A and B are shown apart, each in its own frame.
Chain A
Amino acid sequence: MSPSSAAPAQTSPATTRKAAQTGAPARRSPGPRRISGPAHHAHRADPAHPADRADPARPAARPQRTARPAVRSAPSSAPFTQHVTRVFDHSLLDRLIRGRAWIGLIGFALIGIVAMQVTLLKLNAGIGRSVQRVTVLQRQSSALAAEVAGLSAAERVQSQATGLGMVYAPPNDVRYLHVSPGDAARAATAFVAPSASPPPSSTSASSSSTPAGSTSASGAPVSSASIGP
């Protein structure tokens, strides 16, 4: 069957809508109306029933679209409108608008807007100055870092130390300590709680330390090179 031969048998939804627009009075449904979703038939699918029969020439039954009744929203909107109308008609507002206080209020609001804009501009300018200040500080920091790097250069430090009479100890003047398994335990037991008395002078401290070059029976070298005169 060709589509053209099937056309007269159908009822076009567009035709239905047109009919509704061209003057057919809206008919209120007597019962509760379905809002959306597929149509649910009361009966089970029955191939013998004309609506359930598969017919390629006939489109499946579509749910009927019906305009919602206008009265559904009326109960909620009416009090709101009445409230708004009451506010507009309120005597206090009427007195305010007709009185001189309204001019002052508008003026105050305008001044407030201008003041807010000025404040915003000042805030922006402040942020801008801060960003620029950050940049300046970063640049100063980099310059100072470069200065620190120059002061900590190995050659400068060594020449300064040499000027103070310091020299690197010759290799044979360096003594290395060796540890044995019991040394750590002995060192731990040798710890004493600090006393309230003043610390010993550096001379006495060095004289009481382990003499350089002392070795134990075995173990790896642990101490670093000493700096000699």
Chain B
Amino acid sequence: MAPMQLRIGKLFAVFVILLAAAGARTFYLGAFQAGKLRQVADGQQLTKVEMPALRGAILDRNGIPLAVSEAGEDVSATPYLVKAPVAAATRISAVLGLRESTVEKALTKAHTGFVYIERGVPEATAQRVAALHIPGIALSPVALRAYPAGPLAAQVLGNVDVDGNGLAGLEYSKNAVLRGSNGVRREVNDARGDPISVSDLKAARPGKPIELTLDSSLQNAVENVLAAVGAKYRPQSATAIAMDPQTGAILAMANWPRVSANEPAPASARINRAVGMTFEPGSTFKIVAIGGALQDGLVTPTTNFYLPSSLQIYDRTIHDAEVRPAEEATVAQILAKSSNIGAVEIGGKLGGARFNHWVSRLGFGRPTGVDLPGEQYGIVPQPAQYSGVSMANLPIGQGESVTPLQLTSAYAAIANGGILRAPHIVAAIDGKPTPTPAGRRVFDPRVASELRDMLRGVLAPGGTASQVTIPGYQLAGKTGTAQEVVAGSTTYSKTAYDASFVGFAPAGDPKVLVSVEVSAPRGAINGGEVAAPAFGQIMSFALPYLKIPPA
């Protein structure tokens, strides 16, 4: 064999050996180490990031945002990757405004590879944390909920938790619509961490916006009026509702004390008292007995009743609010002067069964059907539960509990000509208008008209709210004053009263209805003194604001 051929042969043999070795190694890595190596490679190169969906905005009826979502980050740490936890804690706490010891405790947490330092950090602040370039500190995108108007309608809107789930209010009841769904993004990074490929495995689907019937300007005005009532009478709580009686659209729903939707608050302060609280309505409830008797043809507005100065029924003595001699009064005068004895006489004429029929007919004792969560049923005794004195106190609004919205809804039926309609607060979802709830007739138009006329007398001279006037406008309404039940007992408080007023304007063709309920005011207790002026202030703003001409 020639030397040249020998060298070629040796070289060939070397190549064959090297090729065989490479093949064997390839087989080993591909067959036995594939899973492990793939896992390591994925860890180094692949990242799956959950892309948070922005929650749908809640807008008022003019498109002004009441709740919006904005970008934020969760700041987390992998403790064993943080080389100098003390120094890192100092730098991070300075940016996030946290206590240094809290951050240090998180960074030195043992037996864990993940710990949150702070959740829901605004984007700008999070970027300052990222700029620190501390190994082991990571940011995860999240959507934050913000309420630009602060405390405006906070109890109505509700709030969300750190994961973006609705906890209360509309945020809770409309969570499925508002929430959307998070996306998943797959990122392939090179050795320097720069993305080679970014693809959305699942696109984030933002939540749908909700448009309310609330008017933020009117809501603000109503809340300001309640704040003034709160400052003057220092009550336990107060709530007010403004409604379009023709459609049942809620234009404002305010609670006092105010809470900021952006700040933590006690659960009790977050209750929307307009639907989540019941109270004994007092004289505002007299329209049930009077309206029922009118509709049943038992009385007319001019029917005369003899009213003694006091009325004894079993062990109970009934008086009117003001001491007066025995007199005769028409049904209209009984309502205008809010005579307890007169209401009991009319209730007696109606009878327990028919009275209960009208209580139920006007929607008391069950939810109104408003699209808000946490609505109470109220407490309405059934005829079988009546005692001998039940018809001496039920017609004057004692012995039953209602929500402010139930009372408002019943008065709306009088204002709109006799149709009881479920109130509603959601006007549109994702731009699609929600249908106006169908109503049912509870009073003939004639009876509703007679009631409206009689309710004008409450604000006329001699009525219980005669001090409330708005020049150019005919007002109608009813005052209510009721003793509160002592918590945990069956007795009435001698000091705590509920003062209320429900009214509408213009009386001839009502366009806006306002109810005010003040719980346990101090310094004054009567609905005509505490709640009726608040009604007047709200109406003074609402009528020109809503462009309702005098009538």
Binds A, one of B76-84, B192-200, B326-334, B482-490: B192-200
Asked if B540 and A153 sit within 8 Å, CB to CB, the answer is no
> Considering only CB atoms, which chain A residue lies closest to B472 in the complex?
A172
> Considering only CB atoms, which chain B residue lies closest to A155 in the complex?
B220
Chain A CB within 8 A of B311 CB: no
Measured CA separation A129–B220 after assembly (Å): 45
Tell me the residues in window 72-122 of chain B with beta carbons closer than 8 Å to chain A beta carbons: 122
B residues within 8 A CB of A155?
149-150, 152, 220
Tell me the residues in window 514-539 of chain B with beta carbons closer than 8 Å to chain A beta carbons: 539
Chain B CB within 8 A of A154 CB: yes
Binds B, one of A11-19, A36-44, A47-55, A119-127: A119-127
> Considering only CB atoms, which chain B residue lies closest to A168 in the complex?
B541
Asked if B198 and A139 sit within 8 Å, CB to CB, the answer is no
Asked if A125 and B196 sit within 8 Å, CB to CB, the answer is yes
Measured CA separation A224–B148 after assembly (Å): 28
Tell me the residues in window 115-140 of chain A with beta carbons closer than 8 Å to chain B beta carbons: 121, 124-125, 127-129, 131-132, 135, 138-140
A-B pairs with CB below 8 Å: how many? 113
> Considering only CB atoms, which chain B residue lies closest to A131 in the complex?
B198
Interface size class of A (residues with CB under 8 A): 20 to 34
A residues within 8 A CB of B64?
149, 152-154
Chain B CB within 8 A of A150 CB: yes
CB-defined interface of B456-495 with A at 8 Å, one 1/0 digit per residue? 0000000000000011110000000000000000000000
Asked if A154 and B549 sit within 8 Å, CB to CB, the answer is no
Known interface pairs A127-B198, A128-B196, A132-B195; A149-B544 also in contact (CB < 8 Å): no
> Considering only CB atoms, which chain B residue lies closest to A143 in the complex?
B70
Which of B124, B143, B220 is packed against the most chain A CB atoms within 10 Å? B220
Asked if B220 and A171 sit within 8 Å, CB to CB, the answer is no
Binding site secondary structure of chain B: mixed
Q: Return A220 CB to nearest CB of chain B, in Å.
A: 8
Measured CA separation A193–B544 after assembly (Å): 35
Asked if A171 and B472 sit within 8 Å, CB to CB, the answer is yes
User: Which of B70, B194, B197, B470 makes the CB contact (< 8 A) with A142?
Assistant: B70
CB-defined interface of A187-229 with B at 8 Å, one 1/0 digit per residue? 0000000000000000000000000000000000100110000
A residues within 8 A CB of B544?
168-171, 174, 225
A residues within 8 A CB of B54?
142
> Considering only CB atoms, which chain A residue lies closest to B539 in the complex?
A171
Number of interface residues of B (CB under 8 A): 44
B residues within 8 A CB of A153?
64, 148-150, 152, 216
A residues within 8 A CB of B545?
168, 225
Known interface pairs A125-B194, A146-B146; A139-B540 also in contact (CB < 8 Å): no
Measured CA separation A221–B150 after assembly (Å): 36
Measured CA separation A77–B99 after assembly (Å): 87
Asked if A150 and B148 sit within 8 Å, CB to CB, the answer is yes
Measured CA separation A145–B54 after assembly (Å): 12
Measured CA separation A174–B220 after assembly (Å): 21
Q: Return B476 CB to nearest CB of chain A, in Å.
A: 16
Asked if B219 and A154 sit within 8 Å, CB to CB, the answer is yes
Asked if B71 and A142 sit within 8 Å, CB to CB, the answer is yes
Which of A121, A125, A151, A154 is packed against the most chain B CB atoms within 10 Å? A154
Chain A CB within 8 A of B123 CB: yes
Asked if B152 and A124 sit within 8 Å, CB to CB, the answer is no
Chain B CB within 8 A of A158 CB: yes
Chain A CB within 8 A of B38 CB: no
Known interface pairs A135-B51, A168-B545; A142-B69 also in contact (CB < 8 Å): yes
User: Which of A121, A143, A151, A169 makes the CB contact (< 8 A) with B71?
Assistant: A143
Asked if A146 and B196 sit within 8 Å, CB to CB, the answer is no
Asked if A125 and B195 sit within 8 Å, CB to CB, the answer is yes
Measured CA separation A152–B150 after assembly (Å): 12
Q: Return A116 CB to nearest CB of chain B, in Å.
A: 16
Q: Return A44 CB to nearest CB of chain B, in Å.
A: 69
Measured CA separation A139–B71 after assembly (Å): 5
Chain A CB within 8 A of B187 CB: yes
Which of A127, A129, A142 is packed against the most chain B CB atoms within 10 Å? A142
Chain A CB within 8 A of B543 CB: yes
Q: Return A131 CB to nearest CB of chain B, in Å.
A: 4
Asked if B547 and A224 sit within 8 Å, CB to CB, the answer is yes
- Which residues of A approach B to under 8 Å, CB–CB? 121, 124-125, 127-129, 131-132, 135, 138-140, 142-143, 145-146, 149-155, 158, 168-172, 174, 176, 221, 224-225
Known contacts A128-B197, A154-B219; 8 further A-B pairs (Cβ under 8 A): A125-B195, A143-B124, A145-B68, A145-B70, A170-B540, A171-B539, A171-B540, A172-B550
28 contacts across the A-B interface (CB closer than 8 A):
A127-B197, A128-B187, A128-B188, A139-B71, A139-B123, A142-B69, A142-B70, A142-B71, A143-B124, A149-B146, A149-B149, A150-B146, A152-B64, A152-B148, A153-B64, A153-B148, A153-B149, A153-B150, A153-B216, A154-B64, A154-B219, A155-B152, A155-B220, A171-B540, A171-B543, A171-B550, A221-B547, A224-B547
Top 9 nearest A-B pairs (CB, nearest first) are A139-B71, A128-B195, A149-B148, A128-B198, A149-B65, A172-B471, A150-B148, A154-B216, A221-B549
